[in-house]
Structure formats: structure tokens, C-alpha cells
Amino acid sequence: MNKVIELLRQGHLDQAIEDLLAFNSKTDGKIASAASNNLALINLLKGEDKLEDALQYCEQALSLDRYNSNALVNRGNIHFYKNEPQLALQCFREALQVDSGCIQAIYNSGLVCRLLGQLDEAKRNFFKLNDMLAHEPQVLIQLAEIYNQQGEHSQAIELFTQASTLAPTDPSILERLASIYENFGDNSTAFQYFRDSFHHFPSNISLIKWLGNYYMSAHFSEKAVLYFEKAALMEPNNPEWPMLTAGCQRRSGNFQRALEIYKQVHRRFPENVECLKFLVQLSKELRLTVEERDYTEKLGRIEKIGQLKAQRESGGQRLLFKIIFYLFFIKGNYQQIMKEKIFLIFQLQHLNKIVKEIVEEEQQLILKELHKFYNKLGEVIKIIKLQKGILMI
């Protein structure tokens, strides 16, 4: 087993799996159970496609050793990945009955309780773990998040500060502290923590944007430009950054430079409505009559196209709603389909999924009922065609 662990550390996954399978088939008892559990973990890490295989290995591990707390934890992890948090929590609790000091089970129980809104129980788990591990940063972070959820912000700040002391180069802790202070309206303290976080993680786009906006609102446009230009290098296909850069130039009175940047954005993104609006306004302010007229005409055309597109989409959504309305009432067993799709009824791409569940002999009935419906409303449908379980509109 030590050899297998070393193979896994070195990334030799295939060889490790081969050795684990040998343990799994040739040995009995706890060693075979441990091998099965490791196979379960490997399959779990491979993603959703391997969850059932992982669950089978977990069950095999538990059949060989029903007191294998690690296998119970892995079974809980699988249920969690399958969006079954209650079953996951039950598995973690079973693991704790076997081994009350199982760190993974305590931590995961706290996470699931927090997810389920059982915040007091989550706190008990994390405080227990904090006593066992003597101020582990991740445990302090979880406790801080729970206190923050409960509205006890001062306690949350204290715990985040402790975690930051233990992990001073962790940018996520500094960012969370900054966010709390920002919610309090203390932007100066938030700025200090955001800046420190940026120092440790300079490629964080959200931090770059916040710092740039902070400098811009504080009328330090030159400093804001540095952040937005950095973001533009990281996301060259995002027009937001040159637009913000142009806004900074405009605020600082560099109207000509702002106009040049807006023109560059327009050349790359000719259908960007916001850019055209700024070009119209800036051309007007600079008394560039010809350019103002040209950009106004372009803006009008693009806005008209957008309105027509919105009307077409709206018409398609209304049609979809009517079709789903009839599917709901034609046959009772469609109610279950609708429960799954009801929040997606305004998305046309889900129409085929619904219609595919209609058995072939019912298609003509549905088409007939739809025609009756449209005739009663006095509406005309140009093409409604059912072919191979797909409704073509």
C-alpha cells in the first residue's frame, strides 16, 4: 500500500490502479477494504462519469470492513457530488460513530450543515475541529463565514484576521475581509485589504476592477488607467476594459485620447451600443458634427436591429408557453415533465427536450389540439411540424 501511495504522489495513476486492483482481488479484510476505498477515491476524482463506479467500490470496501470510516466519508462525498446532502451528512455521522476523531468526517459534516442552513451544528463541528488542529486556517475561515452569515460581523472579522495571521499570503482571506468592510461602507479599510490581496494575487480580475473603480471614484484617473490597462492585457477580447480606460481619460480631461480609445473599441466591436453612445456624446461635446451624425445613424440602426430581435424572441417565447400549456393538460403524465421544466419554459432550446418525451402515437393528438387552440384565439401559425419527436417552429 505504501508503494501505491508513492505511485499516486508521483502521478503514476495507471500503475497505482493496477496495484490496487491486485490488492482488491487477492487479499481479504482491512487491506482489501483500504484498496477498494482508494479505488473509490480515484474514481470520485475522475468526475461525474465515474461516480457510480466510485460508489460500487465504496460499498465493496464497507462489505469487507464495515468499520472503515474513510470509506464512509468517501460514500458521503459521492452523495454530496450527486446533490444528495442529507444522505452525505448521514454517512459522515456514521463515520463519526465509528471514529469520533475522523477529521475528514468532522470537516465535511460542518460543510454540509452550513449548506443546509444548520449553522449552529456546523459551528459545533468546526469548533471541535479547531480544538483538535490548533488553529487551522481553513477551519477558522469556515467559522468566520458562519458568523458572517449569522450577522455577527465583528466576530467574523476577528476570525478572518486570525486566519490571515496564520496564512498571511492567502489572498482569499484578505479579499473576504475587504468585502466585509466594504459592506459596512468602510471603503478605505476595504481598499487596504483589497490592495494587499492584489499584491499576492495580481491576476485576479475582480480585484483589478475594484481597485480601478476605487481610484476612479477617488479622482485618481491616472492610477485607475494602470489597472484597467492590465485587465485589458489579460482579457483582450473584453471591451469593458478599454471602455473604462476611455472613461478615465475623459474624467481627467483628455477628451481626444478618450475619443481615440472609443474609436478603437468601435472598430473591434462595431455592434457595442454603449461605445456608440459615448462616441455620439463625445463627438457632440467636441463639436465633430460629421462624426456625430455618422455615429448617431449607426447607433439607430443597431438599436432597431436589437428591438426587432427582441420582438422575435418574445414571440417565440409566447409560442413556447402556449405549447407547454397544452402539453401540461393533454395528458396527466406531462405534469412531472413540467415540474422539471417549469423554470425553463422561456428558453427555446429546451423545447425539443420536452417534445422528445412525447410518445409517437400522441403527436397527432397534440398537433390537433394546438390547431384548435390557435383557431380559437384567431391566430395563425405559419409552420408547425412534428418530425421524429422534434417540434420545428
In this structure, is residue 97 part of a structural domain?
Answer: no
In this structure, is residue 375 part of a structural domain?
Answer: yes
The pTM assigned to this predicted structure is 0.69
Q: Report the interhelical angle of 2-10 vs 29-45 (nearest 10°).
A: 10
The predicted structure's pLDDT at residue 346: 41
Per the structure, the count of domains in the chain is 1
Q: Can you tell me the distance from the alpha carbon of 38 to that of 23, in angstroms, rounded to the nearest whole number?
A: 11
User: What burial letters (b/e) apply to 322-337, b meaning 16+ CB within 10 Å?
Assistant: bbbeebbebeeebeeb
392: helix, coil or strand?
strand
Q: Sign (positive/negative) of CA torsion 64, 68, 72, 77?
A: negative
The predicted structure's pLDDT at residue 38: 77
Tell me which H or E stretch contains 390. Answer: strand 390-392
Mean pLDDT in runs of 10 for the chain (393 residues)?
65 65 64 79 77 84 86 91 91 93 93 93 95 91 95 95 95 96 94 96 95 94 94 95 95 92 94 93 91 92 81 58 53 46 45 47 54 50 36 33
CA distances from 243 to 211, 249, 259, 356 (A): 16, 10, 10, 45
In this structure, is residue 381 part of a structural domain?
Answer: yes
The predicted structure's pLDDT at residue 18: 65
Contact between 284 and 295 under an 8 Å Cβ cutoff? The reply is no
In this structure, is residue 380 part of a structural domain?
Answer: yes
Cell triple for 326: 397544452
Its domain, for residue 378, covers 306-392
In this structure, is residue 16 part of a structural domain?
Answer: no
In this structure, is residue 289 part of a structural domain?
Answer: no
Polymer length in residues for the chain: 393
User: What burial letters (b/e) apply to 116-153, b meaning 16+ CB within 10 Å?
Assistant: eebbebbbebbebbbeeeeebbebbbbbbbbbbeeeee
The predicted structure's pLDDT at residue 42: 78
In this structure, is residue 385 part of a structural domain?
Answer: yes
In this structure, is residue 229 part of a structural domain?
Answer: no
The predicted structure's pLDDT at residue 393: 31
The predicted structure's pLDDT at residue 339: 47
Place of cell 474609436: 263
The predicted structure's pLDDT at residue 13: 63
The predicted structure's pLDDT at residue 12: 61
Q: Can you tell me the distance from the alpha carbon of 296 to that of 353, in angstroms, rounded to the nearest whole number?
A: 43
